[in-house]
C-alpha cells in the first residue's frame, strides 16, 4: 500500500465506519446468515460505489448531440407544458419534478474515497486476470444483476461469487488490521 493510504487508514474513524457498515451489511445479507467481515467490507464497497456515482457526476459527453427541450414525440407532455398548465389554472396540483438522489454528507464522501483507494490497492491483487474480475466485482457492487455481469465478462456465477468473496476478504483484512490498532 502507498504511504498516503496507510496514513489515511490510521487516521480514519473506524468505529463509526464499522458501525454504519454493519447496519448496511445486516440489511443486505439474508436473514439466516450471520454478518461476517467480508459482508461488512462488501457493504462498504457498495456504499462507496454509490457515493462516487452520486457525488461525482460524469462530465457531459462530447461529440454527441445533446437532448433538446423539444418533445420526443407529438403526444409527449413535457415538464414545461405541465408547469404552464398549472400557472394558467388548467390543472389543480403542481406537478412533481423528477427527483435526483440527495448529495451524501462530507464524512460519507471521505469514507468512500478511502474505501475506493483501499479497493484499488489491495482487492484481488494476487489474481491473474484481475482487471476483468475487478470490473465484474465493481459492477456487482453497483447493483448490476449477476447474469448480466457473467454474460458481459464471460464468467461463471461461481467465479463471480468467488471474486466478490476474495475481494471482500482482501479489504476486510486491511480494515481489520487498521481498526484494531485504533480500537484495541
Q: What is the rounded distance in angstroms from the CA atom of residue 127 to the CA atom of residue 156?
A: 16
At residue 184, does pLDDT exceed 60? no
Determine the average pLDDT of the residues in 107-111: 92
Q: How distant is the alpha carbon of residue 42 from its chain centre?
A: 10
Q: Is the per-residue pLDDT at 88 higher than 70?
A: yes
Res. 67: pLDDT tops 70: no
Split at pLDDT 50, 70, 90, the class of 97 is low
- Alpha-carbon distance of 170 to 153, in angstroms, equals 22
The cell numbers describing 85, all together, are 398548465
- Rounded average pLDDT over 120-139: 86
Confidence (pTM): 0.74
Amino acid at each position: 500500500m502507498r504511504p498516503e493510504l496507510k496514513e489515511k487508514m490510521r487516521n480514519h474513524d473506524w468505529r463509526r465506519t464499522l458501525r454504519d457498515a454493519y447496519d448496511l451489511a445486516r440489511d443486505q445479507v439474508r436473514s439466516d446468515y450471520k454478518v461476517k467481515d467480508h459482508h461488512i467490507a462488501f457493504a462498504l464497497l457498495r456504499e462507496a460505489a454509490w457515493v462516487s456515482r452520486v457525488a461525482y457526476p460524469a462530465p457531459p459527453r462530447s461529440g454527441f448531440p445533446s437532448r433538446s427541450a423539444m418533445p420526443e414525440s407529438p403526444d409527449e407532455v413535457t415538464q414545461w407544458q405541465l408547469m404552464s398548465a398549472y400557472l394558467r389554472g388548467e390543472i389543480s396540483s403542481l406537478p412533481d419534478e423528477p427527483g435526483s438522489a440527495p448529495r451524501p454528507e462530507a464524512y460519507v464522501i471521505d469514507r468512500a474515497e478511502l474505501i475506493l483507494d483501499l479497493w484499488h490497492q489491495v482487492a484481488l491483487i494476487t489474481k491473474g486476470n484481475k482487471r476483468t474480475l475487478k470490473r465484474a466485482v465493481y459492477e456487482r457492487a453497483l447493483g448490476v444483476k449477476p447474469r448480466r455481469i457473467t454474460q458481459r465478462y464471460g464468467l461463471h456465477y461461481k467465479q463471480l461469487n468467488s471474486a466478490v468473496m476474495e475481494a471482500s476478504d482482501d479489504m476486510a483484512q486491511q480494515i481489520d488490521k487498521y481498526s484494531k490498532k485504533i480500537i484495541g
